[in-house]
Amino acid sequence: MRPFANRRVLLGISGGIASYKAAWLARLLSKAGAQVDVVMTPAAQEFVGAVTFEALTGRPVHTGLFDPGRALDHIKLAREADAIILAPATADFMARAATGQAGDLLTACLLAAACPVLLVPAMNDHMWAHPQTQKNAAHLREIGYTLLPPDEGMLAAGEGSGPGRMPEPETIFAYAGRLLEKGGGLAGKRVLVTAGPTRESIDPVRFISNHSSGKMGVALAAAAWRRGATVDLVAGPLTVSAPIGVETHQVESTEDMATAVGTRLPQADVLVMAAAPADFRPSSRATSKIKKDKAPESIALSTTTDILASTKSARSRGSIVIGFALETDDVVAHARTKLAAKELDFIVVNDATEPGAGFGVDTNRVSIIARDGSEERLPLMSKPDVADAILDRVEALLSGR
């Protein structure tokens, strides 16, 4: 899984109650294909046993600076790491790291490292708010480390709640991916993505919609953010969670989506229209629930705004515009017509009738048709992998403009 496959990640664990969450983080990293080297401080071993991490990563756990035969482990581990994640980073550990101490294996690894570092503070809210901790955090940022601010929520038993709680492993995992993609082709770019279906009301309780789950658009937004972009996601009702790090704007109808896209489009370097907005809406909306005994024999329909077509005059100079087409017949021909009519850089098309390639599934099989008419058919892939394949092509277009 990009960007973790075959990458070396040093996971450092210091001695806080949140250490138990690091076990799931180690599992997520390993499952994504990373080789995870766990380094634990003596205090961390008071909370979680080293054998837990060895079982989750399949690799030996490193604990001592002066263990026999491992005198240079801090140099070797630091040099081999593509990224270092410190989770949890306690107040004590942050203080020692900020002053360049190297009294244990983990702080020694930090001093020997040249790779990106992600610190995840976790402590009591008063300790986090203390001026000295804040000075240490600011200094660590100045050194070049990335700090993931603590969450607000329940702390250790009897400590109440407040800012200081360690973010969930899935959040840390997402930020670790962004760290490994640092300096990618989308860094500093603004990407606007749409996802999910829209709903067109018949009456206050019924609507016209489709089976879109939003999974493809969400995968694209997550992948673009991981590659360093600032991402705006305009989403209809989703059956999946909005991606971490992405600013999400929830909309209901196609007209709402068109307005939201139009508002944000002038600032976008890339527009990826992955949503499946409704093409039709009832010509009139009942103000109260339609009863069965008064149901109309038919519902008159009107067409909704064609969002992609409506953006043509508002696109910024040099921007990249990507469309999607989900078809059931004459798939490629319909996609080529849409590509030309809506003046797209390329269009991503799939067949709704093909197993594993339609709405609500975790995979997709797509063809990418470029403005010059060339067509590339991709194999059946996970939607995150499809997202990366699409963004690889977006980056190539951006580099040429």
pLDDT tens, residue by residue, 86-135: 999 999 999 999 999 999 999 999 999 999 999 999 999 999 999 999 99
Q: How far is Cα of residue 36 from the mean position of the Cα atoms in its chain?
A: 21
Nearest in space to 159 (alpha carbons), one of 15, 14, 21, 17: 17
d(CA 128, CA 16): 13
**Taking every pair of C-alpha atoms in the chain, what is the biggest distance, in angstroms?**
85
CB 34 within 8 A of CB 9: yes
Q: Phi-psi category of 284—alpha, beta or left, where left has phi over 0 and alpha has psi -120 to 50?
A: beta
Cβ neighbors of 215 (< 8 A, separation 6 or more) are 239, 240, 360, 361, 362, 383
Tell me the CATH number of domain 8-180, given options 3.40.50.1950, 3.30.1490.20, 3.40.50.1000, 3.90.600.10.
Answer: 3.40.50.1950
d(CA 327, CA 322): 16
What is the location of CATH 3.40.50.10300 in the chain? 190-282+299-399
CB 38 within 8 A of CB 57: yes
Tokens of 315: 């696109």
Ordered DSSP codes for 66-85 = T-TT-TTHHHHHHHH-SEEE
Query: What does the pLDDT average to over 25-49?
Result: 97
Q: Phi-psi category of 146—alpha, beta or left, where left has phi over 0 and alpha has psi -120 to 50?
A: beta
Instruction: Pick the catalytic residue from 6, 124, 210, 364.
Output: 210
Higher pLDDT, 152 or 176: 176
What is the location of CATH 3.40.50.1950 in the chain? 8-180
The structural architecture, per CATH, of the domain 190-282+299-399 is 3-Layer(aba) Sandwich (3.40)
Backbone angles phi, psi at 390, to 5 degrees: -65, -45
Place 158 in a pLDDT band, splitting at 50, 70 and 90.
low
d(CA 295, CA 303): 22
CA distances 291 to 204, 205, 281, Å, are 12, 11, 20
CB 346 within 8 A of CB 367: no
What confidence tens digit (pLDDT) does each residue in 284-341 have?
A: 999 999 998 888 999 999 999 999 999 998 898 889 999 999 888 898 999 999 999 9
What pLDDT is recorded for position 395?
96
d(CA 217, CA 75): 42
Q: Which residue has the tokens 């690799």?
A: 59
Strand partners, 273: 194, 323
Q: What does pTM read for this prediction?
A: 0.92
Can 6 be counted among the known catalytic residues? no
Q: Which residues of 177-198 are buried (b: 16+ CB within 10 A; e: fewer)?
A: bbbbbeebbbeebbbbbbbbbb
